[in-house]
Amino acid sequence: MAEVPLWAAIPIAAFLLIGAGLTLIGSYGLLRLPRFYDRIHAPTLGTSWGTAAIVLASMGYFSVTGGRPVEHEILLGFFVTVTTPVTLMLLARAATFRDRAEGNPEVPGRPAVADTETTDGDGSPPA
Amino acid sequence: MSATILIVAVTIAQGALVLAMGLAVLRMIRGPRAQDRVLALDALYLDCMLLLVTLGIRTGSAFFFEAALIIAMLGFVATVALAKFLMRGEVIE
């Protein structure tokens, strides 16, 4: 590993630890949270600041060792930031569709268009 | 001194990321439904991509960045295809 000055090593190390720690917390939440609709929120810790911090650390390290600004890691952060909402929304909609098709009582049925008084109170989908 | 700080930080970060991959695999094994497994696969792709970036910092080579980019793209396509499959029962219609 190349020698970098101390003023650069400390923020790089801090960003690495922050990013990896947030990703670990996100995966722990994925394991621990009780329902699917809770769990789908947990890995976004890793996709937001987990990725951003590790990408910043990588940019800082290669900029200092290379002696010139290196910014191609931004592509990685940009790509993850753009694609995560798309994938998770598709996945959540698929899960909602499956739960509704099975009549799972934890998931409310498709909301009524005209009025909501016709549902019988417990949120079950109309027959 | 600074190299020691960086080595220790990269090692701890890689350990945390491997542990995160293990937790995601545990969720994938445990289920209980298909959407949980797909979500765990997505998290696994992300952890693997970040592990490759930290590996690039450790070895000082720029090749791992391209591997990480490809893994991020594969993860996106895989999760979208699996979500589409869960929704419609087929991927291309």
pLDDT in tens, A13-45: 999 999 999 999 999 999 999 888 889 999 999
What ipTM was reported for this prediction?
0.89
Chain A residues touching B3 at Cβ < 8 A: 1-4, 9
DSSP A67-100: TS---TTHHHHHHHHHHHHHHHHHHHHHHHHHHH
Mean pLDDT for the stretch of residues B49-77: 91
- The total of other beta-carbon atoms located within 10 Å of residue A57's CB is 28
Residue A12 — very low, low, confident or very high, per pLDDT cuts 50/70/90?
very high
Give residue A88's pLDDT.
92
- Specify whether the backbone of A67 is left (phi greater than 0), alpha (psi in -120 to 50) or beta: left
B18 in contact with chain A, both atoms CB, cutoff 8 A: no
pLDDT at residue A123 is higher than 70:
no
Contact B86, A98 (CB under 8 A): yes
Residue extents of the structural domains in chain B: 2-88
Beta strands in chain B (DSSP E): none
Give residue A73's pLDDT.
87
Summary count for chain A: helices (H), strands (E): 5, 0
Q: How far is B82 from chain A (nearest CA, A)?
A: 8
- Using CB atoms, which residue from A12, A55, A73 is nearest to B6? A12
Angle between helices B2-30 and A6-32 (to 10 degrees): 10
Per the listing, tokens 């949980």 go with B36
A75 in contact with chain B, both atoms CB, cutoff 8 A: yes
Chain B residues touching A58 at Cβ < 8 A: 53-54, 56-57, 65
Give residue A69's pLDDT.
87
Give the model confidence (pLDDT) of A57-96 as tens digits.
999 999 988 888 888 889 999 999 999 999 999 999 998 8
A85 in contact with chain B, both atoms CB, cutoff 8 A: no
What whole-number distance in Å separates Cα of residue A43 and Cα of residue B41?
11
What whole-number distance in Å separates Cα of residue A64 and Cα of residue A2?
10
A60 in contact with chain B, both atoms CB, cutoff 8 A: no
Q: Tell me the whole-structure pTM to 2 decimals.
A: 0.85
What whole-number distance in Å separates Cα of residue A107 and Cα of residue A109?
6
One-letter amino acid at A38 equals D
Q: How far is A68 from chain B (nearest CA, A)?
A: 14
Contact B72 A57 (CB under 8 A): no
pLDDT at residue B47 is higher than 80:
yes
Q: How far is A94 from chain B (nearest CA, A)?
A: 5
Nearest chain A alpha carbon to B79? A87
Contact A27 B83 (CB under 8 A): no
Helix (H) or strand (E) holding A7: helix A6-32
Give the model confidence (pLDDT) of A94-105 as tens digits.
988 888 888 777
- Provide the token pair at A60: 């800082």
Taking the alpha carbons at both ends of chain A, their separation in whole angstroms is: 65
pLDDT at residue A121 is higher than 80:
no
CATH topology of domain B2-88: Helix Hairpins (1.10.287)
For A8, residues 6+ apart whose C-beta sits below 8 A from its C-beta are A60, A61, A64, B2
